[in-house]
Structure 1
């Protein structure tokens, strides 16, 4: 490290222009992150608010480091990069979950590890900040998981399947009105199928969860068990404890139930040991989402996605022009949806966007080539 604190001189000959540009970029990013955390804290209370304000304070300390190195070169105030500004705009559009996801991504991709002008403490701070934001984001991601999964799968399936369908039939030389009719039929059939599939999937998952939740009335039977046979130990063994651990666990429960403690205290002990099927079961079910919400999300987003490749024919285009425009529109939509998924998962958006594009275009190319082959045969 050539600098270990704000007061350290960068070098005797003065900083290079490349160093100054890098320091100004770091300064702009630290200020943007601090503003983001403070803005989030305004809408939070309790411990979460304190955590966000502590993150903002840490970014302020980093800001002071770059200000000390820059001196008068810190003016005029540097502007964040275009990508940072774009991310902030998307964050405002998509809400808190997107803000936190963008913040997590920013903290994780820190370049302080390889920047000789950043201190080791600053680099460590950024890595830990990434974990802090990951924890803050986890609850929002869980609440979003069921509906978001259905929405993303629905939109992408609509984009890819209907593009493949209309390109396949258009390549045969079919009349534009028939291409459009085929696309509309594909939109409705696919949307209904996706909605039905999501409803069945979610309701089945919730039923499986319900079957795995402990019986809330099971604790009432414990006081009537044979203490010597100790059937309660079998419950704990079935849950993964060794025979010795299960026996000791069961003995401790019996001691609470049969001892001088109150009946209420014993009941609470048994409930804690067996589980009452309450919070855990509800939390898992909430993470999956409701079947009707998942079904409606799938229907609407599939329909929206499937409508995109039909737009050229709805606008009166036909032939190769319509095919090219449809492919371009779907390509943009796939890049956007793939990038959003990447950001919300705390990962780099570009690889996910390109992956979505490659998958979508690959499927459409196959059906287009098949359409050409059938069209030539029919001719």
Structure 2
């Protein structure tokens, strides 16, 4: 992976190449740290990515020559990513790695080879696929946590500001905020439990019946009932016919023929795509208990934040401004985390979260101010 001999590089090229070298080294180290915390196929994939980054590193070393020393330092973002990978090795780090791979400058840089630019695009897809597994595992609970925290922040901020705007006492504001926290957290927890439990019930109603294999040996081999099952599950007519023929062939083998395993195993394999689809769907929904607990805790935590300035003695406009500031920081943080985990720009996700939350609170504050003015 080398380019033809070129004239002496410019100072700008040397600076850019040194930055590329530092980033490739740090990305390789990040993948190795992630691989060390995993096993099996995922570890092999991550080590493969690290090897690819090593090839890129060697390319820039060759171009730089003596200009590669002293070793360049990577950006602070890459250093933080590597530190997180060493400390945690979680979905959060994979999501950050995905965003790092998205920033592919090789497409526009004539000093990089086309193969290297293509490598980076493939790396992004590999990391995206690895992160997707973890996202699938956490999506149900994560949805409840984000929804709970955001709802706690916005609803209790709106409630507190609306009451504070009427000019009532600080004690009344605190009492109202605590009541909103408890009522909202209990309501959110119960609502999430019912919602997720009902959704899982609906999904499980579509799972293939486990006892269906018992009827297979009594089927008319010249009819197409089994094909109808596969077609109803999403197969084309041709695929359904092929699947049915394979299963009938398995049934016609002698009972002591274990060349492909018992009949139940064959049926499980034939229906694996449907069982897997349903299992994955259930996994993404999460469990009712985990969703309820997550929603309760995060709603309560979010609802507590706008109360803090009033609990520490602030009242009136200073309390309102401090409460709005605390909630604004929390909304930006939640939006940023969602952006990182979803592979989107974290800043703009934070701004979106902040705008929506402040908009709702502002409307409630205005209504409370009007109500207070009318009743005075």
In the superposition, the TM-score normalised over structure 2's length comes to 0.90
Deviation at 1:336, TM superposition (A): 0.9
1-structure distance, mates of 2:51, 2:223:
60
**SS across alignment from 1:117:** coil
Deviation at 1:248, TM superposition (A): 5.2
Deviation at 1:334, TM superposition (A): 0.9
* Structural mapping, 1:30-45, within 5 Å: 30-45=24-39
* Structural mapping, 1:29-108, within 5 Å: 29-88=23-82, 95-108=89-102
Deviation at 1:241, TM superposition (A): 4.1
- The alpha-carbon distance between structure 1 residues 111 and 292, as it changes in their structure 2 partners (threshold 3 A), is same
Deviation at 1:316, TM superposition (A): 0.4
**SS across alignment from 2:205:** helix
Deviation at 1:90, TM superposition (A): 5.6
* Structural mapping, 1:289-304, within 5 Å: 289-304=286-301
Counterpart in the other structure of 1:219: 213
Deviation at 1:249, TM superposition (A): 4.0
* 8 Å contact kept, 1:215–1:276: no
* 8 Å contact kept, 1:195–1:295: yes
- The alpha-carbon distance between structure 1 residues 306 and 217, as it changes in their structure 2 partners (threshold 3 A), is same
* 8 Å contact kept, 1:200–1:291: yes
* Structural mapping, 1:187-336, within 5 Å: 187-241=181-235, 246-247=240-241, 249-258=243-252, 260=254, 262=256, 265-274=262-271, 281-336=278-333
Deviation at 1:282, TM superposition (A): 4.2
* 8 Å contact kept, 1:216–1:275: no
* 8 Å contact kept, 2:141–2:290: yes
Deviation at 1:55, TM superposition (A): 1.1
- The alpha-carbon distance between structure 1 residues 116 and 274, as it changes in their structure 2 partners (threshold 3 A), is closer
Residue 372 of structure 1 is aligned with which of 348, 369, 373? Answer: 369
Which structure 1 residue ranges, 4+ long, deviate > 6 Å from structure 2? none
In the superposition, the TM-score normalised over structure 1's length comes to 0.90
- The alpha-carbon distance between structure 1 residues 275 and 115, as it changes in their structure 2 partners (threshold 3 A), is closer
Show CA shifts across 1:306-327 (max 9, x none).
Answer: 1111110011011111111111
- The alpha-carbon distance between structure 1 residues 316 and 86, as it changes in their structure 2 partners (threshold 3 A), is farther
- The alpha-carbon distance between structure 1 residues 340 and 280, as it changes in their structure 2 partners (threshold 3 A), is same
Deviation at 1:243, TM superposition (A): 5.1
Residue 159 of structure 2 is aligned with which of 134, 140, 165? Answer: 165
Show CA shifts across 1:272-306 (max 9, x none).
Answer: 44569866544433332221111111000111111
**Greater displacement, 241-250 / 27-36:** 241-250
* 8 Å contact kept, 2:34–2:85: no
Structure 1, unaligned stretches of length 5 or more?
none
* 8 Å contact kept, 1:163–1:326: yes
- The alpha-carbon distance between structure 1 residues 277 and 206, as it changes in their structure 2 partners (threshold 3 A), is same
2-structure distance, mates of 1:354, 1:34:
32
2-structure distance, mates of 1:367, 1:111:
46
Counterpart in the other structure of 1:343: 340
* Structural mapping, 1:91-170, within 5 Å: 95-170=89-164
Deviation at 1:258, TM superposition (A): 3.8
- The alpha-carbon distance between structure 1 residues 42 and 268, as it changes in their structure 2 partners (threshold 3 A), is closer
